[in-house]
Amino acid sequence: MRRAPAQATVRAMSQRKFLVIADDSPEFQAALRYACRRARSTQGHVALLRVIEPAVFEHWSGVRQEIERQAREEAEAILQKMAEFVVAETGVPPEFIIVNAESTRLALRKVISEDPAIKVLVLAAGVGGRGPGPLVSSIAKDGVKWGARKLPVTVVPGDLTDEEIADLA
C-alpha cells in the first residue's frame, strides 16, 4: 500500500526515487542520510519501505487482524518520524510504502517491479563486525533479481559520518 505523509508536497516530485528500507538496524541511518543527500542533489525524492512480516497467530482471526492493524499503525508512526528528517534534509516529504510480506527480499521484488520510478535501491552495510547484513549478503550471493527490471544498488558503509556522506553524495 502506498501512502503519502500527512504534509503536503511543496514541489512536484521528480520521477527519480531513491528507495530505502526503513528497518530497525543501526546502519539504516547511514542509508537514509545518503539517500537524502543524493535525492537533494539530483532533484529526486526518497521512498521509505517498511515491511510488515505476517503475524503468526492462527487460533482466532479477529486477534490476528488486530495484531496486523497495530503493526500497520506502528509502521505508519515510525515512517512519520523518519519523514521529519527527510523533509529537513531534502525539503520534500518522502513516499511511504508499507508492504505485508514474508521477507524483505520478497517485498523489494514486489515494490520494484510495480514502480518504474524507483531508480536506485540504497542499502547500508552492517557495522561492528557483524558482516554486511542479510540483505546485502543475499544480493551479493544470489544477485539482483527484480524480474525484468535492472536496478542499481548502492551499498553505503553503515558507519560513515555525516561529513563523509556529504562528501560522497
What mean pLDDT do residues 5-20 have?
A: 61
Please tell me the predicted confidence (pLDDT) of residue 90: 95
- The predicted-structure confidence for 57-115, as pLDDT tens digits, reads as follows 556 667 777 888 898 999 999 999 999 999 999 999 999 999 999 988 889 989 998 99
pLDDT above 70 (res 16)? yes
pLDDT band at 11 (very low <50, low <70, confident <90, very high): very low
On the 0-12 / 13-18 / 19+ scale of CB atoms within 10 A, 89 is middle
Separation CA 19–CA 127 (nearest Å): 21
For 126-159, how does the pLDDT look when each residue is reduced to its tens digit (9 = 90+)?
A: 877 666 677 777 776 666 666 677 788 899 988 8
Specify whether the CB–CB gap between 95 and 50 falls below 8 A. Answer: no
Answer yes or no: are the C-beta atoms of 144 and 151 closer than 8 Å.
yes
Indicate whether 5 pLDDT > 50: no
- Does position 2 have pLDDT exceeding 80, yes or no? no
pLDDT at 31: 94
Lowest mean pLDDT among 4-13, 24-33, 69-78, 135-144: 4-13
Model pLDDT, residue 131: 65
The whole-model pTM stands at 0.82
Residue 6 pLDDT > 50, yes or no?
A: no
Contact 38, 32 (CB under 8 A): no
- SS3 track for the chain: CEECCCCCCCCCCCCCEEEEECCCCCCHHHHHHHHHHHHHHHCCEEEEEEEECCCCCCCCHHHHHHHHHHHHHHHHHHHHHHHHHHHHHHCCCCEEEEEECCCHHHHHHHHHHHCCCEEEEEEEECCCCCCCCHHHHHHHHHCCCECCECCCEEEEECCCCHHHHHHHC
Residue 149 pLDDT? 76
pLDDT of residue 143: 64
The dihedral through the CA atoms of 108, 112, 114, 119 has a sign that is positive
